[in-house]
Every structure is written in structure tokens, then in C-alpha cells.
Amino acid sequence: MKKIIIRVACLISIILIVAASGCVAPPKENATSTKSGSNVKQSGIQTTATPNYVTEVTPIVTNTPASGFEPVPTTQPPGDLYCRIYLLNTTGYNYKAIEFNLQNPPMYINYTIKPHNITITEIVSELGESKKYGTEKFVKISKYDPNSWFSVTVLNKSSGEKYLEDGFGTQKYSLYLNRTLKVMNRDNMLIEFRSNNITATAMVWVKPARNIDDPKFNLTTDCTYFGISPRDVLPISTTKTTATPTYRLQR
């Protein structure tokens, strides 16, 4: 009986010892400050903060689009400036020719024309309500006069080789009322303007560099830009100017 009591007492002692050890609180983690200012917790093993080699800043805003295309410049380079060297105002039938030594192409020739209109009477057939018998009536129609035309021809002055021929009217040309033509050849040019029964304004434009050797030439008068890539068949409106043309030879 005594042995049983001793065994029970030992078992109770073991249980009490195990319970007492489970109630002991773990050691507290002390926060220490590193040289870089970052707090690092220590729990028996000391850790090192990651060095900070960079500093976060505000990004620089650029004008480059996200698509990758270069931004369009807000100012045009001086080399793309074109100045007017000739102005023609003509009415009815006329022929004018100028000579110019084009050394730095392209040369642009733009014109605005107002053709003469004619009114004609045509017979138009219409079906009646029954769709079996037709009726005829006279209708007045206004259209361009076939004899109203304007042409621009650019040739080599010496050999007569033709570099460009275009214009308005007849069966050869288009019906653009406003147009810009481009000459890419480098040569001593003869530029001819012919017109019949029409009102037209034409201008010739070149780059001053290597084309106009005159220090008195005023770049602030009648000079413009023709865009990044103008086409020779692009219809554009032309502003009428009144400045005195220069560098022309009429005959």
C-alpha cells in the first residue's frame, strides 16, 4: 500500500513540474536602431539591414508619346522655310514665262483659279405615273466652260526637256480649283503659265538657301512652311498676297 502512495505522489510531482515549465514567458524581443535608421528586431539572432544605395525621386516628365513616335516639333527649322519669288494674277487669255536657276529643290508652284461658267439647256426624259409613257422637259445646267483652262509647264531652259506639265481644265488636266505642284529637278528652269477664259493666281516658292544670292532679300516677307511632307497633288487654299514679285523675267 505504501508503494502505491509513493508512486502516486511521484506522478503528481512530475505533472506539477511540467505545468510550471509551460507558464514561463519567452524572452522579449528588443528593438535596436541601426546606423541607417531602420529598426531590426533581435530574438537571439542579430540581423543586418539591407544597405540603401538609391534615393527615390520624382520622375522627369517628357513629351515623348507612349507609342514610341517622336513628338512633332513646335518650331520649324529655318532650312524648311520657303519664300515666294513670283506672283501671277491673270484674267482671260494670257501667257507668262519666268526663268529661275533652281539649285536647292524642291520648288513649289501653287495656284488658285476661278473658271468661267456657262449655262446650257438639256432635255431630260421622265417616266409618267404609269411607268409606260415618258415625258420630256428642258433643264438648265450650269457647268465649267470647256474653253476655260489654266496650265503650268516647267522645262529645262536650254534643252527644252519637260519636267512638269499640269493645270486645270481641258481633257488633259484635273478640276482642282486649288493646287500645289512640286518640282524636284535641279536645273535652270523656264516656267510657263498659260490661261484662257479664266481668272487665276499663281505663286512660285523656293528655299532661300543656295537659291537666292542676295543679302537684301527679306525673309520676313511672303515666306511660309509647306508642312512635313506635302504632296504634289494636294489641293490647298492659297492666301492672296500683294507684295511685289522679285527675280522674274517676263516675255
Domains of the chain, CATH where assigned: 78-116+147-224 (2.60.120.380)
The residue that leads in pLDDT, 3 or 85, is: 85
Burial 116-135 (b: 16+ CB within 10 A, else e): beeeeeeeeeeeeeeeeeee
Q: What per-residue confidence (pLDDT) applies to 193?
A: 96
Q: What per-residue confidence (pLDDT) applies to 149?
A: 96
28-42, 48-62, 113-127, 233-247, range with the lowest pLDDT: 233-247
Q: What per-residue confidence (pLDDT) applies to 171?
A: 83
Asked if residue 151 lies in contact with residue 198, where contact means CB atoms within 8 angstroms, the answer is no
Long-range contacts of range 214-219, CB-CB < 8 Å, 24 or more positions apart? 217/83, 217/246, 219/81, 219/83
Q: What is the per-residue pLDDT across 207-232, written as a single tens digit (0 to 9) for each? A: 998 998 877 777 766 888 886 655 54
Average pLDDT value for residue range 14-19? 66
34-38, 128-132, 140-144, range with the lowest pLDDT: 34-38
Q: What is the per-residue pLDDT across 151-166, written as a single tens digit (0 to 9) for each? A: 999 999 999 999 999 9
The residue that leads in pLDDT, 249 or 67, is: 67
Whether residue 84 is predicted with pLDDT greater than 70 in this model: the reply is yes
Q: What per-residue confidence (pLDDT) applies to 12?
A: 72
Whether residue 35 is predicted with pLDDT greater than 50 in this model: the reply is no
For residue 170, what is its C-alpha cell?
Answer: 481641258
Whether residue 91 is predicted with pLDDT greater than 50 in this model: the reply is yes
201 confidence band (pLDDT: 50, 70, 90): very high
Question: What pTM does this model have?
Answer: 0.58
For residue 119, what is its C-alpha cell?
Answer: 449655262
Asked if residue 251 lies in contact with residue 94, where contact means CB atoms within 8 angstroms, the answer is no
